[in-house]
Structure 1
Amino acid sequence: MRKWIIAISLLSLLGCASQSKQKKEKAELFLRMGISQLESGNYPYALRDLLKAEELDSDNAVIQNNLGLVYFFRDRQDLASKHLNKALEIDPKYTEARNNLSRVLIEKGQFAEAEKELKIVLDDLTYPSPEKAYINLGLAKFNQKDYSGARKSFIKVLENTPDDCISNTYVGRSYFEAEDYHRASEALDRAISFCQKSLYDEPHYYSALAYYRLGEKSKSQTRFEEVVKYYPNGKYRDKAKGMLSLLRKGH
């Protein structure tokens, strides 16, 4: 009788183990599908697949990290921080999740907390993407109007990836906010060449403004016209049209 009990118990455990393995494999499949949708910008489908993955394996830090990302892109920073914090509870050494959490904190205006997380990220010498952390640190500094500190962080990125669109843009914007319009126009013109293919209109618009502040109205007008022409759905299209109206009236 005891042998039968032991055998049944072992079979039961093996059955559970097999079932658990199957759930994890299925969760992994939904995770891969969710990441693919996330990378393609299909956020509703990404969320659907990642939530299915979470149902099957809720203690998977990678699933929690990617849920945090998809909520970030859907402008649900409350849910983004919840899932990223859970990822770090599961794996406190998950530096990618910590870096992503810092970006959410920046979006929420919690700059001191973001910088605290970024210090931990940058202290992790095994983290293979420190440029991501320097971009976030630059954004934190910029949003606190520490333009010199922001520029130092973005220049750190450009030392290794000189064609980075965001870093080139914010080097230019840091000069613009400091009213160094000559350097701003140079940096922003350089950023345009790296950003246009991704339809990112910010450097184009601020280049136009820099030329406007320098009194170079012809160059400014050309840049504003390019914003309207090349970025029909851009963030700065309406502002560029407003500035063109002013320039054409002779202001």
Structure 2
Amino acid sequence: MDSKIINWQEVLGWGKDQVDDIKFFAFSYLKQGKYEIALKLFLGLKVLVPEDSYVIKTLGSLYLVTNQPEIALEYLNRSTEIEPKNSRVKLNIVQALLDSGQREEAIKKAKSLVKVREKAIAGKAKALIMAWG
């Protein structure tokens, strides 16, 4: 079995412009609330650009809004490996933990977000702590 990773962008002869076009369409479906279509497009993007933080964190968010918190956590945690300081992703992790029944871990992570500079993130973290803590 060949263990070589296939570079699908190269195979297709696609560049950044083609990938950006798919990102645009995928995000358009997401904004319209057509999450299943957006999810399929973002999964395709993951094949094309497997280390793209935007694609990874958006997949995490899509799995979260489609009530699949365990899968969401996989993508969101992967996203924090790529972008360790992204507070919005960390807040989504808190929500995914709550949705998957991991309340204590969620509250612990939410407490670390209360002190972030982004007021909206800090406020949502406080609200989650008040509601679930």
Give me the TM-score of the superposition, normalised by structure 2.
0.77
* CA 1:27–1:112: 2 relative to 1, 3 Å: farther
Distance 1:128 1:56 in 2: 35
| Alignment partner, residue 111 of structure 1 | 103
Runs of 4+ in 1 over 6 A off after TM superposition: none
The answer on 1:65 being equivalent to 2:57 is yes
Following superposition, the deviation at residue 107 of structure 1 comes to 0.6
Alignment of 1:38-57 (within 5 A): 38-57=30-49
What is the number of residues matched between the two proteins?
A: 120
Q: CA RMSD in A?
A: 2.0
SS at match of 1:123: coil
Match for residue 137 of structure 1 among 107, 123, 129: 129
2:115 corresponding residue in structure 1? 123
Q: Is the 8 A contact 1:24 1:57 kept in 2?
A: no
More helix by share: 1
| Percent identical residues | 24
Q: Is the 8 A contact 1:106 1:139 kept in 2?
A: no
Q: Which runs of 5+ in 2 are unaligned?
A: 1-9
The CA deviation at 1:74 is 1.8
Q: Which of the pair has more CA radius of gyration?
A: 1
Gaps of 5+ in 1: 1-18, 142-251
User: 1:52 and 1:85 mapped to 2: Cα distance?
Assistant: 20
The question of whether the paired residues in 1 share the 8 Å contact of 2:111 and 2:126 is answered with no
Distance (Å, rounded) in 2 between the aligned partners of 1:86 and 1:25: 25
Deviations 1:116-158 (A, max 9, x none): 2222322221x252233233333322xxxxxxxxxxxxxxxxx
The structure-2 alpha-carbon separation of the partners of 1:128 and 1:54, relative to structure 1 and needing over 3 Å to count, comes to: farther
Contact map agreement 1:111 1:140 (CA 8 A) in 2: yes
What corresponds to 1:28 in structure 2? Answer: 20
* AA matched with 1:102: V
